[in-house]
């Protein structure tokens, strides 16, 4: 029985792999006995919280010849989809986990034969094992090396209401109602080459994901059926397992219960901020960027609110102010991070935010773009929510829930009645590190910045 020796991430030196975005995963051992000329492609750890991954689509088929650095499979982690490359030349001898299947990190998902003559031998050994291999106690004499490489950001596709499609008889969630298109990286590349509009293709992959064969079918000729518009049906009383992302969110929420938290609310007048937003909105500035910038400038003056406690025995004053902002995506949520938000100007911050949101919804974020936040914003104001509580993300000190800015009747300083736009914010904080007076002082500073927002444009 095989023994999982070690998992190590090392920067790739291969010229075929992008050096600044590539990680090499080295793992040895598995239940399937193989010789030195038959290697295993393992499920890599694509993030620090990933314990298992789902096979989204196999880019190559059994028997295909592979070259070092070539994408073999697309894996869904808890936060993003990533290409997995082979680090050796050879032949894809056996796929051990089919599309839609889930495998734990470190377990073999395929076998790579060095020569075409060894394909049959590899398939026989895989069949003899009876099940996909997993780490165990006996050391094997082979070592598999794979590279996890992020997808390049797809070109923007102008979405249209579904009409004639080339595969299937109904619109699938992957391409319905003008929403984002869910497709494998290889399918997107193929669609570009074949000039196929993905918005008119219904995917046959897991959860309707568009895969290469769907694009090829679309390029072959017109469909005989017409898609019916409308959301996918939901079967009531059905049991639906968590997606990989939902599982990660669930674990984080349970972990957060171990942290003693408290909440402090505050009312902030937004007339001046609203006026500034209207003035510079045409330049691409977003309200999210304005709120993130204001929060970051307030945190500069209150570093304890930007601190974090991870071991229960000490805390760290974070050297950077990285504002994470919760974003709803299909099947869960993710928190893209505006790094060094206090130092970036509002225009750069807005452009960066738009880029992060596009990548988040296409599941292309890299780990450093979603797991480096030091303070979190959660904004439900666009839904008309006036106030709510947010759950503290593990490893951070505080999260601020932002409600809608609404016209409110208030008493002025001269004793008259007036109308002002006001929003409610509610901060949840780790009480092991941050105390009530800390939050109250921080919120006073934040209110001053928002109510006189001249510094936000510098």
Per-residue CA distances from 279 to 206, 272, 274, 453 (Å): 45, 11, 9, 12
Q: Is 302 a catalytic residue?
A: no
Which of 252, 250, 231, 225 has the alpha carbon at shortest distance from 393? 252
Query: Strands 38-42 and 108-113: what pairing?
Result: antiparallel
CA 255 to chain centre: 19
Contact of 123 with 149, CB cutoff 8 Å: no
Separation in Å, CA 7 to CA 31, 143, 209, 261, 421:
17, 11, 30, 35, 54
Q: Identify the active-site residue in 151, 172, 368, 431.
A: 431
Residue 206 sits at φ, ψ, to 5 deg, of -55, 130
- Tell me which residue of 288, 256, 262, 260 sits closest to 438, measured CA to CA: 262
| Closest to 374 (Cα-Cα) out of 444, 445, 433 | 433
Q: Give the Cα separation of 445 and 377 in Å (integer).
A: 16
**Annotated active-site positions, please?**
431
């Amino acid at each position: 029985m095989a023994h999982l020796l070690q998992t190590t991430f090392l920067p790739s030196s291969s010229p075929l792999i992008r050096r600044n975005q590539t990680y090499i995963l080295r793992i040895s051992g598995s239940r399937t006995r193989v010789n030195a000329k038959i290697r295993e492609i393992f499920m890599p750890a694509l993030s620090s919280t990933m314990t298992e991954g789902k096979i989204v689509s196999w880019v190559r088929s059994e028997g295909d010849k592979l070259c070092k650095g070539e994408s073999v499979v697309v894996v869904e982690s808890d936060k993003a989809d990533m290409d997995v490359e082979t680090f050796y030349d050879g032949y894809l001898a056996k796929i051990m986990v089919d599309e839609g299947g889930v495998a734990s990190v470190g377990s073999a998902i395929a076998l790579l034969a060095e020569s075409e003559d060894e394909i049959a031998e590899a398939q026989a050994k895989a069949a003899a094992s009876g099940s996909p291999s997993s780490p165990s106690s006996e050391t094997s004499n082979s070592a598999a090396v794979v590279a996890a490489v992020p997808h390049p950001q797809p070109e923007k596709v102008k979405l249209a209401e579904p009409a004639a499609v080339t595969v299937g008889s109904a619109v699938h969630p992957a391409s319905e109602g003008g929403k984002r298109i869910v497709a494998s990286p290889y399918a997107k590349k193929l669609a570009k080459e074949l000039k196929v509009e993905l918005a008119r293709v219904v995917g046959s992959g897991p959860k309707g994901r568009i895969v290469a064969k769907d694009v090829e079918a679309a390029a072959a000729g017109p469909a005989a059926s017409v898609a019916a518009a409308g959301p996918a049906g939901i079967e009531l009383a059905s049991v639906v397992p968590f997606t990989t992302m939902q599982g990660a969110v669930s674990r984080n929420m349970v972990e957060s219960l171990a942290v003693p938290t408290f909440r402090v609310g505050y009312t902030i007048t937004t007339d001046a901020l609203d006026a500034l937003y209207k003035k510079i909105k045409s330049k691409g500035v977003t309200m999210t960027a304005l709120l993130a910038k204001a929060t970051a400038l307030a945190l500069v003056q209150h570093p304890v609110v930007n601190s974090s406690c991870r071991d229960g025995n000490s805390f760290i004053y974070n050297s950077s102010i990285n504002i994470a902002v919760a974003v709803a995506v299909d099947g869960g949520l993710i928190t893209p991070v505006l790094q060094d938000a206090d130092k970036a100007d509002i225009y750069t911050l807005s452009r960066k935010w738009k880029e992060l949101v596009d990548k988040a919804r296409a599941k292309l974020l890299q780990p450093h773009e979603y797991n480096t936040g030091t303070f979190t914003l959660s904004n439900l104001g666009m839904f008309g929510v006036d106030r709510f509580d947010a759950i503290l993300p593990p490893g951070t000190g505080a999260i601020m829930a932002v409600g809608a800015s609404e016209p409110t009747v208030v008493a002025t300083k001269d004793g008259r009645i007036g109308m002002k736009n006001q929003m409610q914010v509610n901060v949840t904080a780790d009480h092991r590190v941050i105390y009530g007076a800390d939050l109250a002082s921080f919120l006073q500073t934040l209110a001053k910045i928002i109510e006189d927002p001249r510094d936000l444009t510098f």
